Amino acid sequence: MQKIVPFLWFKDQAEEAANFYVSIFKNSRMESMMYYGPAGPGPEGSVMAVNFQLEGQDFIALNTNPDQSFTPTISFFVKCQNQEEVDELWEKLLPGGEEMGPGWIRDQFEMVWQIVPIQLWEYLNDPDPERVQRVMAAMLQMNKLDLEKLKEAYEGG
């Protein structure tokens, strides 16, 4: 049993959002749904909450307060193994959303994601500050991260 579970508030799209995310990430599944009863506060029989997993991580999505929205102060950081995974997730999460800067996307449900190749951390943790600055400068010119261009900057090219 996972001790800490992200609990996400949606205006009225919890089921739609959970299905969307489960369709994108491998090793993911819908777990269960809870429905509002006569006491509300949502319409009786409508979806109240959805339990789902993405890559083995538990999540709960709740249909609740329409005045709340997601902000970039909380985001989901996705460690990608290679450029192909970056490209695939970027293309699937972006429609209906927006690019927010280096590696960041706000999806159609306003959830904020960071789609990052794991190699970037190696580059940014290099003991050579000049290498780190070259990678940072290259990264800041991108929306979707390009591993080949980051590698070129790392190697001084």
Q: What is the pLDDT of residue 32?
A: 97
pLDDT of the residue at 62:
95
Domain ranges for the chain, please list them. Answer: 1-65, 69-157
The CATH class that applies to domain 1-65 reads alpha beta
CA 117 – CA 128 distance, rounded (Å):
20
Q: What is the pLDDT of residue 102?
A: 97
| CB of 44 closer than 8 Å to CB of 36 | yes
In this prediction the pTM is 0.91
pLDDT of residue 47: 96
Q: Look at residue 68 in the predicted model and tell me its pLDDT.
A: 74
Q: Rounded to 5 degrees, what are φ and ψ at 34?
A: -115, 150
The SS3 of residue 6 is coil
Tell me the CATH number for domain 69-157: 3.10.180.10
Q: Same topology for domains 1-65 and 69-157, yes or no?
A: no
pLDDT at 71: 83
Other beta carbons within 10 angstroms of residue 113's beta carbon come to 22
pLDDT tens across the length of the chain (157 residues): 789 999 999 988 999 999 999 999 999 999 999 999 999 888 899 999 999 999 999 999 999 876 777 888 899 999 999 999 999 999 999 999 999 999 999 999 999 999 999 999 999 999 999 999 999 999 999 999 999 999 999 999 7
Between CA 52 and CA 111 the distance in angstroms is: 16
What span, in angstroms and rounded, lies between the C-alpha atoms of 21 and 5? 16
